[in-house]
Amino acid sequence: MQGILSLRTKIPWVIIGCFLFQGTLFPSDNSSAPKLGTLVHEHKVYRDPNGLIYWPMDMPVWIRLATSPREDAPSFLLKNIYQEDASVSEQYVKNGIKLEIPGRQFVRWINYLTEDEDLYKFMADGAPPRTELGLFQAPRSVRGETVFYGKGLKARLGSQDDLSGVEQILISIDGKAYVPLEKTLSLNQEKRYDLAFYAVDRVGYAESPKTSSFIVDLTPPQSSHQTEKNLLEDTLSRESVILLSSLDTLAGVDFISYRFDNGTDVIRYDRAVGIRMEGLSDGKHVLQYRGTDRVQNVEIEKEYRFHLDLTPPRVAYQVIGDLYLEDMRSYVSSRSRIKLQADDIQVPLKQIKYRINDSSPKTYMSPFLPPIQPGRFMIRFTAIDQLRNRAPEQLLELFMDLEPPTTRMHLIGPNFSQGSGVIWATGRTRIKLKSFDNVSGLKQIKYQLGEEAVQVYERPFSVPKTGQYLFRYWAIDRVNNREMFKPLLLMVDESPPQILEVFSINSIGTETTKEGAEIPVYPQHTTLFLNAMDNSASIKGIWYQLNGDDMKEYTQVLFLDQPGRYRITIKAEDQLGNVSVKTLEFMIAQATE
């Protein structure tokens, strides 16, 4: 059989100078120099399980003819290339055929007579694998340019090769020699890891090593506490603050959490606020706290035991000397003295404070004299402990027998006052007068309304008729000490406010509703103003209800920009509770262009 070997390149199917082949393709002894940082990997020919040959691209190819398919069969180098130029054959014998394009390659056999041809395929591989490092099953955090991982860190290398496939993956840990990696690594030591890794394919191509450096942090933070503001050792006050701090030398502290008394409510600590005592009861407590770093290492919970003192001292009084009780009132003389005393169970007492009537507070030192002046006087007193717990102020009411009775007026029902001796009320408002006498007791209370006759007060009364009245009242005790009368102007108002509504535009017509009522029609974008007037008492407020919605307080004009039927209920109320209600119905017409 006659045949021709031809040398042609065809993309993407690459056809190399054709040869007849039986047996094995043999690589030369040359291999490229190992890449820096890797082991020496000689380039070699690889035959896959299906018999497909993968040839390193940097190895030249020579064509031999074998006498049988056996590996040890004699083979003969083809030295003549079908070219007129003999130097081409010489160059081929010396240097072989160089592969220039990776991927599928073909050796073509052509029957010279019939021009039938056969293709014999092999693969050219010139690219190394691509390897990626996977780190997983552990929290990760970045601090500056350093990467940290927590407990349970696993490392896995994955590599891909497009042609001959990955032969092995190698790894170097902390500068040690490269070793093959065939399984997942457990990185369970607290230290800095410096990993270098690469993969080699089945024809000996190795990728440039990749590196990854990180720190495994297995140690939780160390937290501590301190207390400040108004405390006595481990006895804290409502003003005290507990401060927490935590130190972590690697990944750094993420947060501190705390709880009280084995509770389930765990709170994240806010260093700007600290831990304050709000919400804690008086007595013993345990603060439990711990730190967590940025890779979820959690500290063993620490405890701080303290006593929160919220209980103020107990304080009491005693009148030394003259004391007379009548009808639950206490009367004293100029010879009486007041004694105050207090005690505290948890912490020492700091001081007792008192003040007479509205005078400035004083520090109690010893029993003191009451003020020598007629009438009632008040002694307010309290005690303060070393943690500034203050007892509720107690009031001691005493009477000195030097003055006539004192009368006060109380209004029951709607009323208000703007000062200057003027009071507004309604016909339903009742006037109540009450008088006090220091010793002899009250005889009677009298009052006069305008120019009417003087009346003796017996029970609360009202003034039903609208008008202005000069109202005077006074009291007389059983020894006829007469009180100076107290005049005031009483304004009785029974009239509700008058509601006023103003539309910004006159109506443009009317419309008959389904109920047969005629209602005005206003153009779109009309503005409605609401107001109210009262003859005596001032207006408390105006409210409105739009189309059945909730009642709202009127604070600004109403813009009617939506076409349709409107029903507005308006309510006005004066300062005495007199109320008027008014309902408006109208239409807003659609604006025409």
d(CA 133, CA 158): 7
Tokens of 252: 């750094």
d(CA 311, CA 298): 37
Nearest of 130, 135, 131, 132 to residue 147 by alpha carbon? 135
pLDDT of residue 481: 64
pLDDT of residue 56: 96
| HSE-up (13 A, CA, CB side) for residue 99 | 25
Q: Answer positive or negative: Cα dihedral of 173, 178, 179, 183.
A: positive
d(CA 590, CA 593): 10
Residues in contact with 150: Cβ distance below 8 Å, sequence separation at least 6, in sequence order: 138, 139, 140, 216, 217, 218, 251, 293, 295, 296, 297
What the chain holds in terms of domains, given with CATH numbers, is 3-125 (no CATH), 130-216 (2.60.40.10), 222-308 (2.60.40.10), 314-396 (2.60.40), 406-492 (2.60.40.10), 498-589 (2.60.40.10)
Q: Per DSSP, what are the bridge partners of residue 384?
A: 351, 390
Nearest of 322, 251, 259, 330 to residue 293 by alpha carbon? 251
Q: Answer positive or negative: Cα dihedral of 227, 228, 233, 237.
A: negative
Q: Is 363 exposed, middle or buried (0-12, 13-18, 19+ CB in 10 A)?
A: exposed
Task: Give the single-character DSSP code of 33.
Answer: P
pLDDT of residue 421: 81
d(CA 52, CA 25): 11
Tracing tokens 């056996």 back to the chain, one arrives at 70
Tokens of 59: 């190895």
Query: DSSP secondary structure string, 225-277?
Result: EEEESSEETTEE-TT-EEEEEEE-SSS-EEEEEEEETT-S--EE--TTT-EE-
Rounded to 5°, the CA angle 363-365-371 comes to 75
Tracing tokens 């001796």 back to the chain, one arrives at 421
* Paired sense of beta strands 117-125 and 130-136, if any: unpaired
Contact between 304 and 283 (Cβ < 8 Å): no
Q: What are phi and psi of 82, to 5 degrees?
A: -75, 75
pLDDT of residue 37: 59
Identify residue 352 by its one-letter amino acid code. I
Residues in contact with 360: Cβ distance below 8 Å, sequence separation at least 6, in sequence order: none
Q: What are phi and psi of 175, to 5 degrees?
A: 80, 5
- How many CB atoms within 10 Å of residue 444? 14
Counting as low any pLDDT under 70, the low residues of the chain are: 1-38, 82-86, 324, 333-335, 401-402, 440, 478-481, 593
pLDDT of residue 325: 74
Q: Which long-range contacts (CB under 8 A, 24 or more apart) does 502-506 make?
A: 502/528, 502/529, 502/531, 503/527, 503/528, 503/529, 504/528, 504/529
For the entire predicted model, the pTM comes to 0.53
Rounded to 5°, the CA angle 140-145-148 comes to 25
Residues in contact with 293: Cβ distance below 8 Å, sequence separation at least 6, in sequence order: 141, 150, 217, 220, 221, 248, 250, 251, 252, 253, 254
pLDDT of residue 23: 31
pLDDT of residue 479: 52
d(CA 6, CA 390): 111
- How many CB atoms within 10 Å of residue 433? 19
Contact between 148 and 142 (Cβ < 8 Å): yes
Rounded to 5°, the CA angle 463-464-470 comes to 35
